[in-house]
Amino acid sequence: GSEHGFFIHETRLLSHYGILINGERPQRVLASNVQQHSWLGYYIAYPPGIPVMPRDHGSGGIEDDSERTLEIRASRFIGGGMHEDIDICNFSQYPTSFELALEVDADFRDIAELRFPQEQPGTIDSDWRGHALTFHYQAERRAAPDAGGDIVRVDRKVTIAARRSGSEPEYR
């Protein structure tokens, strides 16, 4: 419902993107542009399955959130598409196991449609093959009479592919 997302040529391809650890959103610590076309985000979470350590009552200088020791670093580069590396480091002294999930959705809305919501024509299909999820949008409509009244066809796709993952990706 927001005007944010991943846009190309004034069309929002990805309308939702999120990282989950065992179904929970990690806490965002930092998100910043590094250079014009790159972005870096740091997130933290408690490593699933390890003992919850008692709160630091000593100096009072350690915030509860800083005791979360599973760090997720997302490094994103935009150019000829979008490339993102997700690196996870467990800083606790215990082994952990968890499900890393990426939530993605696509709506292919024109930037003008975001400002003035209307029913979007066309269909969006999704297809999971191997390590890739493809969203495919197709629409057809008649242009306004003053624009010639011709049939205008739109055919767009966006593919999200997992590479170099430590386990076999699955789709749900």
> pLDDT by residue (tens digit) across 97-148?
999 999 999 999 888 888 877 777 889 999 999 899 999 999 988 777 887 8
Q: How far lies 151's CA from each of 41, 109, 120, 140, in Å?
A: 43, 19, 16, 7
Cβ atoms of 111 and 10 closer than 8 Å: yes
Q: Across all residues in the chain, what is the average pLDDT? A: 85
pTM score, whole prediction: 0.77
Compute the C-alpha angle 3/6/8, nearest 5°. 105
| pLDDT score for 133 | 95
| pLDDT score for 72 | 94
| pLDDT score for 71 | 93
**Looking at residues 140-157, what average pLDDT do you find?**
84
| pLDDT score for 51 | 73
| pLDDT score for 61 | 61
Q: How far apart are CA 34 and CA 41, in angstroms?
A: 10
**Looking at residues 12-37, what average pLDDT do you find?**
90
| pLDDT score for 42 | 93
> pLDDT by residue (tens digit) across 53-76?
666 666 666 555 555 689 999 999
Cβ atoms of 110 and 96 closer than 8 Å: no
Encoded amino acid at 62, one letter: I
Cβ atoms of 33 and 41 closer than 8 Å: no
7 pLDDT exceeds 80?
A: yes
